[in-house]
Structure 1
Amino acid sequence: MEAPVADDRLLHQRVVGGEEAALGEVYDRFAPLVFGLAVRITRDRAVSEDITQEVFVAFWERPLAFDPARGTLRAWLATIAHRRAVDHVRAQERRKASVLGPRLLEPEPERLEDTVLSRQEADGVRLAVGKLPDHLREVIELAYYRGRTYRQVADELGLPEGTAKSRIRLGLRRLADALAEEST
């Protein structure tokens, strides 16, 4: 059991050092897990491919978001994949609800500690989003709070698609940095 944890830490250190081959090893080892989890939740292979790519790009761009002292790389990547897949499903449900009109959904029971942690995280994210410059805040709000794609963001703001995508990526990077600073 100790070998995979030590292996995770070494791989993590190599990714932090910018070694692309290490990211390839992480991908080879964990992509089936991430993809499989996403497929089970979204039931959509194309969306799951996108989620898998997003998870590994996020890890490459912000490898320090993973803390080996708090768990395994496998569990962390699975958690990120799960959250993104659930976010996708929820966004799809919101879109369906807006097309079909209001309907009554019975909420799933949540554990109290999950609810508290989720609210604390959400409050921290909302605060960090509020501190972003206007041009980044508006693309993040459209993409993540209103469920718009980058193409829809570009259309709504009258921006080229590449600019919208770049602003979303930059906004997310700044959010991750702000949240990382806040947690230290």
Structure 2
Amino acid sequence: MSVDAETGAEAQVDDVAARLVAGSREALEEAWARWSGLVHTLAVRSLGNHHDAEDVTQQVFVAAWRGRHTLDPARGSVPGWLVGITRHKIADLHAQRARQARDAEAAARESLPDTHAPPPEERLAARLLLADALDRLGEPRASAIRLALVDELTHEEVAQRLGLPLGTVKSHIRRGLTTLRRHLEEVTDDHA
């Protein structure tokens, strides 16, 4: 490709980016026409399933439209931005699959009689102890941990739900789990 052709192609990508940020549906359609194949290929390679890859491709372009204000042509190209969104959507689907596998495994375990399960009053005591320990953490740390562990949301989903930056949510969860562990160890040592 000649220098002039390369410069022209870059100008076209920059034009699509500017129009997309401005809210042009035609720019979204053009982005779909130009880069949906790239997104789909990445999804198929990672997920190994064409149906899931089609869903991810659609989710990527919906997310791109909704998050068009985050596109900054000075920081990267439209295809690079779409690849980043694709990676997040693929990771979300992998996490969802892992949760479903854990849930299925847990359901299978629950259907078998468990001779080692603690009595109901011990399970209740453990839940109350955990609830008290979570309450002591304060907000928003307790909510972040509940959403991540109980509701099994990803860190990104927790950040969106709480309206906090992703790094802050990760810190709250990490520090909160450390504090919970320490508190539960103290209580266990006191009752041993």
The TM-score normalised by the length of structure 2 is 0.52
Note the C-alpha offset of 1:11: 0.7
In the alignment, which of 21, 25, 29 is matched to residue 20 of structure 1? 25
Check if 1:46 corresponds to 2:51.
yes
Verify the 8 A CA contact 1:41 1:86 in the aligned structure 2. Answer: no
Residue 23 of structure 2: SS of its match in structure 1?
Answer: coil
Which residue identity does 1:55 align to in structure 2? Answer: V
Aligned to 1:100: 105
Aligned to 2:7: 2
Which residue identity does 2:153 align to in structure 1? Answer: Y
Residue 67 of structure 1: SS of its match in structure 2?
Answer: coil
Note the C-alpha offset of 1:173: 9.8
Aligned to 1:153: none
Residue 12 of structure 2: SS of its match in structure 1?
Answer: helix
Change (3 A) 1:47 1:143: farther
Note the C-alpha offset of 1:70: 1.2
Note the C-alpha offset of 1:94: 3.0
Which residue identity does 1:58 align to in structure 2? Answer: A
In the alignment, which of 75, 79, 87 is matched to residue 74 of structure 1? 79
For structure 2, the 5+ residue unaligned runs are 1-5, 107-139, 166-192
Of all paired residues, the percent bearing the same amino acid is 29
Larger radius of gyration: 2
Note the C-alpha offset of 1:92: 0.7
Change (3 A) 1:90 1:173: closer
* Structure 2 CA distance for aligned equivalents of residues 61 and 174 of structure 1: 19
Change (3 A) 1:60 1:143: farther
Aligned to 1:60: 65
Aligned to 2:153: 144
The TM-score normalised by the length of structure 1 is 0.54
Aligned to 1:121: none
Change (3 A) 1:7 1:57: same
Count of aligned positions: 123
* Structure 2 CA distance for aligned equivalents of residues 78 and 144 of structure 1: 23
* Structure 2 CA distance for aligned equivalents of residues 4 and 27 of structure 1: 16
Residue 153 of structure 2: SS of its match in structure 1?
Answer: helix
Verify the 8 A CA contact 2:21 2:71 in the aligned structure 1. Answer: no
